[in-house]
């Protein structure tokens, strides 16, 4: 059994896999990492290996506990990936984006693919049908947009995201909701349209914490999988260690 760990900016996602079948799933705040990993390791004491990717700051004590408990592989820029990285600054490319590109490359090797990760940031990563990673885009995520309106203005309130079925906001709060939610949807649909114009047979994967929230609002046909990074880690581990 393999344990996959995705350390994000504020939360940690964990999944247990037996080959390509997911057996268990956990999500918790970074601050509660040690206690949660202790419980997970007690429940799954027969783990064979752990594979971990991180864009957040995992406490050294927690990382050492993980590494001492089981054979642990930490993905970095020097790991083996199933694509050719044509990013002009390859060492600055986020590990999470590389793992997502790897998962897309392994699942759809002969297709053009665009992975959209809607989390703290919204990232767009394009891999062509020859498995060349070409790059993409980064923009603020939904929560960051709400926070920025509150932080950089004198009078706009901090709101939580909500369902929006209107374009014209009839109050300040509804205007904020419309601007952010509709704005994000138009942005994503716009990027998809641009990529689709230049790349036939484009496969689009939407993932991240806001994937399910956004999926039903987008005009484009997509594969929505909020835990695609964990699945990609599982696929990447199989790829790295294939004989």
96 is catalytic: yes
- Do the beta carbons of residue 220 and residue 204 sit within 8 Å? yes
Report the alpha-carbon distance of residue 207 to residue 166 in Å, rounded: 24
Q: Write down the catalytic residue from 6, 59, 78, 96.
A: 96
State how far the alpha carbon of 173 is from the alpha carbons of 28, 71, 114, 165, 167, in Å: 30, 50, 33, 14, 13
Burial string for 24-60 (b: 16+ CB within 10 Å, else e) reads: eebbbebeebeebbeebbeeeeebeebbbbbbeebee
Cβ atoms within 10 Å of 172's Cβ, excluding its own = 12
Closest CA to 53 of 178, 180, 199, 233: 233
Instruction: Tell me which residues are annotated as active site.
Output: 96
């Amino acid at each position: 059994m393999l344990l996959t760990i995705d350390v994000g900016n504020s939360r940690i996602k964990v999944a247990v896999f037996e080959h390509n079948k997911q057996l268990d799933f956990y999500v918790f705040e970074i601050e509660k990492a040690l206690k949660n990993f202790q419980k997970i390791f007690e429940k799954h004491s027969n783990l064979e290996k752990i594979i971990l990717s991180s864009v957040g700051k995992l406490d050294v004590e927690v990382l050492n506990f993980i590494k001492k408990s089981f054979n642990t592989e930490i993905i970095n820029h020097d790991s083996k990936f199933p694509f050719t990285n044509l990013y002009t600054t390859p060492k600055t490319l986020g590990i999470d984006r590389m793992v997502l590109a790897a998962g897309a490359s392994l699942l759809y090797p002969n297709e053009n693919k665009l992975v959209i990760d809607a989390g703290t940031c919204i990232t767009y990563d394009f891999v062509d049908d020859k498995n060349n990673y070409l790059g993409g885009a980064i923009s603020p995520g939904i929560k960051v947009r709400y926070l920025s309106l509150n932080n950089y203005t004198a009078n706009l309130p901090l709101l939580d995201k909500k369902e929006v079925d209107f374009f014209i906001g009839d109050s300040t709060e509804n205007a904020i909701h419309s601007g952010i939610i509709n704005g994000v949807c138009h942005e994503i649909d716009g990027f998809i349209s641009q990529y689709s114009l230049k790349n036939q047979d484009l496969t689009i994967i939407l993932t991240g914490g806001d994937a399910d929230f956004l999926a039903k609002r987008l005009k484009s046909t997509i594969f929505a999988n909020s835990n695609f990074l964990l699945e990609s880690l599982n696929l990447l581990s199989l790829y790295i260690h294939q004989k």
